[in-house]
Chain A
Amino acid sequence: MKRSRLAFSILAVGLGLPAVGFAAPFQCPSRGGDIVFGQEANVNSLDQMTSTTISTRNIAMNMYESLMTRSEDNQPILELAESMEESGDGLTYTFRLRQGITFHNGKPMTSADVAASFNRYNRIGIQRSTLDNVAGWDTPDPRTFVIRMKQVQPTFIEALSSFSVPIVVIPSEHENDERQQLRPVGTGPFRLLEFVPGSHARLGRFDGYQPNTAFEQRTGFGGYRVACVDTVTFRIVTEASARVAGLETGELQAVEDVPTRSLDTLRRNSAITILPLQNWWIQIALPNTSIPPTNNLAFRRAVQAALGMEDIMDAATDGNYRLNVGFQFPGRPSYTDAGKETYNINDQARARALLRESGYRNEPIVLLTNRDYPPMYNAALVMQQQLRAVGINANLRVVDWPTSVQMSQRVNSDEWHFFHTGWGTQPALGALATMQFLVSPNAAYRPRDDRDDPEVLALWNAMNNERTAEARQAAFANMQRMVLERAYALPFGSLTKVQAVRSNVQGFVPFRIPRFSNVWVQR
């Protein structure tokens, strides 16, 4: 079997990122102590295979691990595998598992456990379409796991390493656990001590944890991870003021989603460190192209020309934002500003000219939004005013989040023209995960009868099937440009989520989940 270039590049990233030079692996400056994290959203289950929610991931990703995951800059890296080889024909991936890995129950991990995890994921995993192109998997020996593909899929490793709904490795005896009933036993640096839904989940350091010695530091969801503290408690504190109060009193050592109104007070408190997490999500509005007048390109371009993103983002985020062209976060390898000429135009004269061209006759335009996520509501409010300023009869339709999603997904719906939402996890995962939102069955611009724009679809296929990463990136840039030029999506900018810790909590770096490995409490 010949190791492919793709495999080398993954390993190079995996081994090379933190390992360059002769730096020693991370060591806890101090051990012990307890951290209580104030989490904003309820967590209903810790079954990482059957949950897409961020609140589950926050906790579960400190407990579970996968064959592969993502690094700090979103590259696929090895986690429970020490090597991965892709066959010359691209139809087989062979993973060699790391030695000495044990589950939280003390059982050594083997390829049989990996196979059982894939079996369960294939049965009930929410993202089990990841395995649609997989013919099967084999376990030739306890340290080797082989995935056989039906067809060549150059993006398979990107999908396999996704942290959206990862294929976490569980003991084989848990293979038949039902949906949301997975017994919480993983291989991660923390093990579950107690879970009281609606109240808290308490994790304890797993003393049998084997750090991944291919790295020397934590990176992304993986790397060289060490649990320095004794326990981490994720306490559900849904009320923002209560989270801030808990941080001030020291009952909470770290919190997420600090409201802007509290920032000044907290900044004056030397016992507290504010940690902005930039690029949390992309604020976006999506047109319904199955009905008039949003099925008219000139009209959609008129809307695009009317929008001023600073005002929209300022209102949506209380000032915590960055302007951002397109569908990837700035600074990420896949970022491109292709189509930037369509962004933040804020030109009323041009908008009016395009409106005339479109033949718009003052029909009511419905902006579908919700109050469950205030940034979405606030963005819609400002958009409404900006559209009215150029003569578009824009009206808000405010419902709750589940209703707005339901309405937005109806084929050929005539109930709305623009749907307000936010894309967070997918842009963080990369271009492929994000652009799936623009093709069926996910096509968020709701084409008539769900029939994709064939040119957009062609670029999507190129993003998936081109053999080289460069060619796939070029296809992505073209797709982004086309989507923006055809105004199939109106991205406003990136929202910053503010986190905060007590100043004696060291090593905490904001990321897509609150990571508590390599975090210690200064004595």
Chain B
Amino acid sequence: MVGVAFRRLLSAIPVLLIVSLITFGLMRLIPGDPAAAIAGVSATPAQIEQLRRDLGLDQPLHLQLLDYYRGLARGDLGRSLLLGKGVFAATMERLPVTIGLSLFALAFTLLIGIASGIVAALRQNSWVDQAAMMFAMIGISVPNFFLGLLMIILFAVHLGWLPSGGYVPFGEDPVGWLRSMTMPAFSLALLQAGLLARITRSSMLEVLRQDYIRTAKAKGLPHRKVVLKHALSNALIPIVTVVGIIVSLLLSGAVVTEALFSIPGMGQLLTQAVLSRDYPMVQGGLLLVTTFLVMVNITVDTLYAVLDPRVRYE
């Protein structure tokens, strides 16, 4: 298992190098003046020009690339043009917020997706199956932005149960965090939960038709044990694969959700950085997010080895 993790870690290095080069190149290819974006609509051309010089944006491209890689070699991701602070520090302020939101959404996704998928598989072609799959289809079809707005109108404006937006750090007030993150996490999770429910259902159906399940039932094992121990543990392998992808989707989906619910996370930071052509922030922020996602995928790959002995032997 350690070997699996180590091999994956090694293969992550070229991935990160390629990502850093692509983000550097893409940001320079996009037209638009960072100084104009940062200065805002009320700035005069002279003010924008002054800002451009102050930010060192008049340097040749190859020097900027060289500076970037020199910085990376020293572990320095650069300084945000927009925030005037280190990219690493800015990311570390925001990334935990987005990870918290994504993990909460992941909990909803797993809970709803796996439970409804199992129930639908066990009651195949019954009304329960139909209802679960209809729910999954709604989850897949409704944009999370629209769902979020509907939830705000219902739970914040009409019922007053939850705040309409804003963020409370978990460390300050766990209950406040839970209240502020419930709607965003749910609206973010529903799409992925729908997908997961469908995958879980088909995976469970496939496993439930296997001979060893029939044997387990014939041996007289309790139904619960057959389902949870023998069927689910084998059905989990494709589900775990999907969970790795779902974490990536939740992180990227957080962009819209964070904007709607005014959550100061990585999505908002990167969106603003792209719109403002904050080159160092986009380059460094994406590199850190990519690193996080690579780690998630390494964890998933390592989990295969736990769940499926064949991976270990290979």
The reply to whether the CB of A217 lies closer than 8 angstroms to some CB of chain B is no
Q: How near does chain A come to B78, taking the closest CB pair, in angstroms?
A: 14
Could you tell me if B49 and A238 are in contact, using CB atoms closer than 8 angstroms? no
The reply to whether the CB of B156 lies closer than 8 angstroms to some CB of chain A is yes
Q: Which B residues are in CB contact (< 8 Å) with A220?
A: none
The reply to whether the CB of A426 lies closer than 8 angstroms to some CB of chain B is yes
Q: Which B residues are in CB contact (< 8 Å) with A297?
A: none
Q: How near does chain A come to B171, taking the closest CB pair, in angstroms?
A: 13
Q: How near does chain B come to A127, taking the closest CB pair, in angstroms?
A: 6
Specify which of A50, A196, A249 is in contact with B157 (CB 8 Å cutoff): A249
Q: Which residues A15-41 have CB closer than 8 A to chain B?
A: none
Most buried by A among B32, B34, B268, B272: B32
Mask: chain B, 143-186; 1 = CB below 8 Å from A; 0 = not = 00000010011001100100111110000000000000000000
Q: Which B residues are in CB contact (< 8 Å) with A178?
A: 84
Specify which of B163, B164, B265, B277 is in contact with A402 (CB 8 Å cutoff): B277
Q: How near does chain B come to A109, taking the closest CB pair, in angstroms?
A: 25
Could you tell me if B84 and A406 are in contact, using CB atoms closer than 8 angstroms? no
Could you tell me if B262 and A238 are in contact, using CB atoms closer than 8 angstroms? yes
Could you tell me if B166 and A52 are in contact, using CB atoms closer than 8 angstroms? no
Specify which of B44, B90, B268 is in contact with A436 (CB 8 Å cutoff): B44
Specify which of A45, A235, A245, A401 is in contact with B41 (CB 8 Å cutoff): A401
The reply to whether the CB of A242 lies closer than 8 angstroms to some CB of chain B is yes
Q: Which A residues are in CB contact (< 8 Å) with B163?
A: 249, 251
Q: Which A residues are in CB contact (< 8 Å) with B260?
A: 239, 242
| Given known A53-B42, A179-B54, A248-B157, contact A402–B85 (CB-CB < 8 A) | no
Mask: chain A, 418-458; 1 = CB below 8 Å from B; 0 = not = 00011011100000000011000110100000000000000
The reply to whether the CB of B99 lies closer than 8 angstroms to some CB of chain A is no
B261, closest chain A residue (CB): A242
Could you tell me if B44 and A197 are in contact, using CB atoms closer than 8 angstroms? no
Kindly state the separation between the CA atoms of A236 and B260 in the bound complex, as whole angstroms: 11
Mask: chain A, 206-243; 1 = CB below 8 Å from B; 0 = not = 00000000000000000000000000000111110110
| Given known A242-B261, A246-B165, contact A402–B268 (CB-CB < 8 A) | no
Most buried by B among A165, A199, A236, A437: A199
The reply to whether the CB of B275 lies closer than 8 angstroms to some CB of chain A is yes
Q: How near does chain B come to A317, taking the closest CB pair, in angstroms?
A: 15
| Given known A245-B156, A249-B157, contact A441–B49 (CB-CB < 8 A) | yes
Q: Which B residues are in CB contact (< 8 Å) with A165?
A: 47
Kindly state the separation between the CA atoms of A373 and B37 in the bound complex, as whole angstroms: 12
B156, closest chain A residue (CB): A249
Kindly state the separation between the CA atoms of A406 and B45 in the bound complex, as whole angstroms: 10
The reply to whether the CB of A405 lies closer than 8 angstroms to some CB of chain B is yes
Kindly state the separation between the CA atoms of A180 and B83 in the bound complex, as whole angstroms: 7
Most buried by A among B42, B82, B163, B165: B42
The reply to whether the CB of B259 lies closer than 8 angstroms to some CB of chain A is yes
Could you tell me if A52 and B84 are in contact, using CB atoms closer than 8 angstroms? no
Interface size class of A (residues with CB under 8 A): 35 or more
Q: Which B residues are in CB contact (< 8 Å) with A425?
A: 42
Kindly state the separation between the CA atoms of A251 and B162 in the bound complex, as whole angstroms: 11
Could you tell me if A45 and B262 are in contact, using CB atoms closer than 8 angstroms? no
The reply to whether the CB of A253 lies closer than 8 angstroms to some CB of chain B is no
Q: Which A residues are in CB contact (< 8 Å) with B263?
A: 199
Specify which of A45, A126, A236, A421 is in contact with B51 (CB 8 Å cutoff): A126
Q: Which A residues are in CB contact (< 8 Å) with B49?
A: 441
Specify which of B93, B153, B272, B275 is in contact with A400 (CB 8 Å cutoff): B275
Q: How near does chain B come to A351, taking the closest CB pair, in angstroms?
A: 30
Could you tell me if A53 and B40 are in contact, using CB atoms closer than 8 angstroms? yes
A373, closest chain B residue (CB): B41
The reply to whether the CB of B269 lies closer than 8 angstroms to some CB of chain A is yes
Could you tell me if A441 and B46 are in contact, using CB atoms closer than 8 angstroms? yes
The reply to whether the CB of A128 lies closer than 8 angstroms to some CB of chain B is yes
Q: Which A residues are in CB contact (< 8 Å) with B268?
A: 42, 198, 238
Q: Which A residues are in CB contact (< 8 Å) with B32?
A: 399-400, 402-403, 406
Q: How near does chain A come to B264, taking the closest CB pair, in angstroms?
A: 3
B80, closest chain A residue (CB): A44
Could you tell me if A235 and B42 are in contact, using CB atoms closer than 8 angstroms? no
Q: How near does chain A come to B73, taking the closest CB pair, in angstroms?
A: 24
Kindly state the separation between the CA atoms of A164 and B46 in the bound complex, as whole angstroms: 13
Specify which of B84, B166, B262 is in contact with A181 (CB 8 Å cutoff): B84
Specify which of A54, A127, A235, A421 is in contact with B262 (CB 8 Å cutoff): A235
Q: How near does chain B come to A277, taking the closest CB pair, in angstroms?
A: 15
The reply to whether the CB of A47 lies closer than 8 angstroms to some CB of chain B is yes
Q: How near does chain A come to B280, taking the closest CB pair, in angstroms?
A: 13
Could you tell me if A236 and B40 are in contact, using CB atoms closer than 8 angstroms? no
| B→A interface (CB under 8 Å) | 31-34, 36-51, 54, 82-85, 90, 93-94, 149, 152-153, 156-157, 160, 163-167, 259-265, 268-269, 272, 275-277
Q: A-B pairs with the 9 shortest C-beta distances? A: A180-B84, A402-B32, A199-B264, A198-B264, A405-B36, A53-B40, A402-B37, A425-B42, A406-B33
Beyond A197-B90, A242-B260, 14 extra complex contacts between A and B, CB < 8 Å: A44-B83, A52-B39, A126-B39, A126-B51, A238-B262, A238-B268, A239-B259, A242-B261, A245-B153, A249-B157, A402-B275, A424-B42, A437-B44, A444-B45
